[in-house]
């Protein structure tokens, strides 16, 4: 079956040597990889490992993320309610201040001279606004 001439023998030795060297180099790298503890498969390729990680992620989502989202939603609602309440209170406050000013002016204008002229002082917290 084999018909060897010196040329083919030489070419054969060269090519076989080349590929064989490739194999030996690969073998040495493999030994080195084993020595330093390189994994043989990727985690994503190991179905059992991938499922385990998936289950861990699902559990973490259920235990941590979902309650946190719920709490965040509740807090957002509370903040919105408080904001609306604060706006309403602000409007009422300035309306009250405006009414107090009007009343004080009205009192000054129509109070009889024989009565005491000094109006009671407003509380310190609203003194400037009045």
Helices (H), 37-65: 47-60
With respect to other proteins, which residue has the nearer C-beta, 15 or 64? 15
Smallest separation, CB 71 to other proteins (Å): 30
First to last CA, the chain: 117
Smallest separation, CB 55 to other proteins (Å): 16
Which positions ≥6 away from 43 have C-beta within 8 Å?
49, 50, 53
- Footprint on residues 46-85 left by other proteins (CB under 8 A): 47
Q: Are 121 and 113 a contacting pair, CB within 8 Å?
A: no
- Residues of this chain that interact with other proteins (CB under 8 A) are 1-5, 8, 11-12, 15-20, 22-23, 26-27, 29-30, 33, 36-42, 44-45, 47
């Amino acid at each position: 079956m084999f018909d060897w001439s010196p040329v083919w023998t030489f070419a054969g030795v060269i090519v076989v040597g080349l590929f064989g060297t490739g194999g030996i180099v690969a073998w040495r790298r493999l030994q080195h990889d084993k020595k330093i503890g390189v994994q043989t498969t990727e985690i994503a390729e190991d179905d059992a490992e991938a499922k385990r990680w998936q289950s861990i992620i699902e559990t973490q989502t259920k235990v941590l993320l979902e309650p946190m989202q719920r709490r965040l939603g509740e807090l957002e609602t509370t903040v919105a309610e408080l904001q609306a309440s604060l706006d309403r209170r602000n409007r009422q406050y300035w309306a009250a201040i405006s009414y107090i000013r009007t009343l004080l002016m009205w009192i000054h204008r129509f109070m009889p001279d024989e009565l005491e002229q000094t109006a009671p002082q407003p509380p310190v917290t609203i003194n400037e606004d009045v």
